[in-house]
Amino acid sequence: MDLFKKCEEFTSAKEARELGIYPYFHALESRQDVEVMMEGKRRIMLGSNNYLGLTVHPEVIEAAIKAVEQYGSGCSGSRFLNGTLKLHLELEQELADFLGKEAVMTFSTGFQSNLGIISAIASRHDYILCDRENHASIYDGCRLSYAKMLRYRHNDMEDLERLLNTVPDNAGKLIVTDGVFSMGGDICNLPEIVRLAKKYGARVMVDDAHGLGVLGNGGRGTADFFGLTDEVDIIMGTFSKSLASLGGFMAADSYVVDFVKHTSRPFIFCASIPPSNCAAALAALRILKREPELPQRLINLAKYVRNGLTERGISIRESNYGITPIIPLYTYTPIATLTKSKMLYDAGVYVNPVLPPATPPNECLLRTSYMASHTESLLDEAMDIIKETFEKHDKMMAAEGHLPQEDSFTEQTE
């Protein structure tokens, strides 16, 4: 069979384009901010992970420019060899101090961080216990490690313990969880995970990509939020969200970091973070340390939006603590999701559609996310547009004889 046969048979993107509801690869023509110019029109941005709004902060921009002027545009090599800058070491030290861990090492992307950490720590005869709603990079890191992966039901601690009971006592065990889950916005049950890890002799790794700068004292993340920093063995995070740049990191005891530095293929064989990205992340971290009220502002705005959407009759997926800046709106079916996404885009609000397999069938979502730099007036404008758009869509569907949660595409995706 021709290797490219699967490419010829891939038609879902083409079909969405033909229907005029293709939602991906919209081109920005301005900075990543609360309002953007996208394809010639102003859009209120409710689809960014720029949680603290620091991508447009003058100090972050200035730091990136100065780094290019001093170090050039790139490192042209891996950290292992010629690609380590003084900037990398400064960022790692300040992050370690901020998070309360002995050491930090940086990776070129967040996705690569999970690949590099998990594949180095776990190996063929080990077991990884993975929340079903963990990020795709965690799943790929598990595959690359060749360890046996056991998936437990989302945030279901009874199911996690059931699986731990099946693991041989003499096997290495790693429990991996998102701190804040990227699609639903809920927070892991870290106290119970830590308790079970101690009971069964497992190590704990938290992917805090969406927790850093959001939860905890001054934005120190999920482990700090629960007062469990010392009980979490590995904290992973990214720079592409709250820290307004690109890259990722691992925070752990120094001997663990040293091991990963010398054994992780995704780390050893990849070029290091460019100077501009490293300097931008460091500047953003320093702003966060100087302005620890930013995460609380973000949480307050998230509560404001949850209340505002509920008052407007919009069905949202509630998270377990109701404080994170990720607020999914239920749209149920794929066609309804794509259609509402396109209608909102045309009306001036950008959101992210989430379809199977990222959700169960008939539980499709529009993922909205918020920044500390949003204003209440701008959010009110966006929420009014969402309300009007949803009502308009439902009237259209009713006129065509469809129920609000019904479409002909559903059966194809189940």
Residues noted as catalytic: 182, 210, 241
**201-229 burial string, b = 16+ CB within 10 Å, else e?**
ebbbbbbbbbbbbbbbebbbbbbbbbebb
The full DSSP string for 344-413 is HHHHTEE-EEE-TTSS-TT-EEEEEE--TT--HHHHHHHHHHHHHHHHHHHHHHHHTT--TT--TTHHHH
The full DSSP string for 82-131 is T---HHHHHHHHHHHHHHT-SEEEEESSHHHHHHHHHHHH--TT-EEEEE
Q: Coil, strand, or helix at residue 31?
A: coil
Q: What angle do CA 42, 109, 145 make, to 5 degrees?
A: 135
Tokens found for residue 69: 């002027």
Query: Among candidates 113, 105, 110, 109, which has minimal Cα distance to 80?
Result: 105
